[in-house]
Amino acid sequence: MKILGICGSLRDESNTNKLVKKVAESTGNDFELIYLGSLNIKPCTGCGVCMMQEGRCVIDDDMQGVYEKLLKADALIIGAPTYFMDISGAVKCFIDRCMALFYREVGPPYHPDMPWLGNRPHAGKPAVTVTTVAGSGHERSRETLKVAIDDCMKMNIVAELAEVVGMNDVSDMPEVLQRAEEAGKKLGQALRKNKG
């Protein structure tokens, strides 16, 4: 069973990325972390080609390799820092590009009477969302992630972390690390139950 963690901060050692890693480590499963800051992922242009070519995005960048990892993942952890009252642009760009997955020949149809809405290859798989902020806006980010992961991708969110950390390092915040560990344990349990 493989868990994929999306580290959405452009700074490798950011609070968000540290919490994604802590959640992953606490699952008791194999995991892989993808750091968006080290990838070249261009924005979706809304061209619609993915809808007509079985989910094949025409943008030739690092997202092509991420698609295959997403399809093979049994569970997802997605971390997004909160910038200016919502998720960062890098994470929004990543989420937009995930639309191409809806048109792969896998997963249940989103709506049987509207095939143009595609499939949901991740439907029912467990997920955890993570966001951190210095001040405020974390609830909006939590909601944005929920809409993308739960409402759109139809994944089962088992835990949500939306942490106000100020200018501190989460490594020095045991209560936040404890919540991340608990989220990881929930994800591991949900994954084992799904595969049981």
pLDDT digits (tens, 9 = 90+) for 101-134: 887 766 555 566 666 566 778 888 999 999 999 9
Give the integer Cα–Cα distance in Å for 108 and 123. 7
For 75-87, what is each residue's pLDDT tens digit? 999 999 999 999 9
Q: What pLDDT does 16 receive?
A: 98
Whether 65 and 36 have beta carbons less than 8 Å apart is answered as no
Give the integer Cα–Cα distance in Å for 196 and 188. 12
Could you count the other beta carbons within 10 Å of the beta carbon of residue 58?
A: 10
Secondary structure class of 117 (helix, strand, coil): helix
Give the integer Cα–Cα distance in Å for 180 and 173. 11
Sign of CA dihedral 127, 186, 144, 21: negative
Q: What is the pTM of this model?
A: 0.92
Q: What pLDDT does 118 receive?
A: 65
More confident residue, 50 or 181: 181
Whether 61 and 116 have beta carbons less than 8 Å apart is answered as no
- Domains, in order of start, for the chain: 2-195 (3.40.50.360)
Q: What pLDDT does 140 receive?
A: 95
Q: What pLDDT does 122 receive?
A: 84
> Which runs of consecutive H residues, i.e. helices, occur in the chain?
15-25, 49-52, 63-72, 89-97, 138-146, 174-195
Mean pLDDT score, 25-32: 96
Q: What pLDDT does 40 receive?
A: 97
Q: What is the mean pLDDT of the chain?
A: 91
Structural Rg of the chain based on CA atoms:
16
162, β-bridge pairs = 131
Provide, rounded to the nearest whole percent, the portion of the chain with pLDDT above 70.
92
Q: What pLDDT does 195 receive?
A: 75
Confidence of residue 58 (pLDDT cuts 50, 70, 90): very high
Mean pLDDT score, 166-172: 96
Whether 79 and 7 have beta carbons less than 8 Å apart is answered as yes
Q: Please state which of the ranges 14-18, 130-134, 152-156 shows the lowest mean pLDDT.
A: 152-156
Give the integer Cα–Cα distance in Å for 29 and 37. 24
Confidence of residue 45 (pLDDT cuts 50, 70, 90): very high
Give the integer Cα–Cα distance in Å for 89 and 80. 9
Q: What pLDDT does 109 receive?
A: 59
Q: What pLDDT does 55 receive?
A: 80
Cα–Cα nearest to 78, from 194, 193, 159: 159
Give the integer Cα–Cα distance in Å for 15 and 54. 37
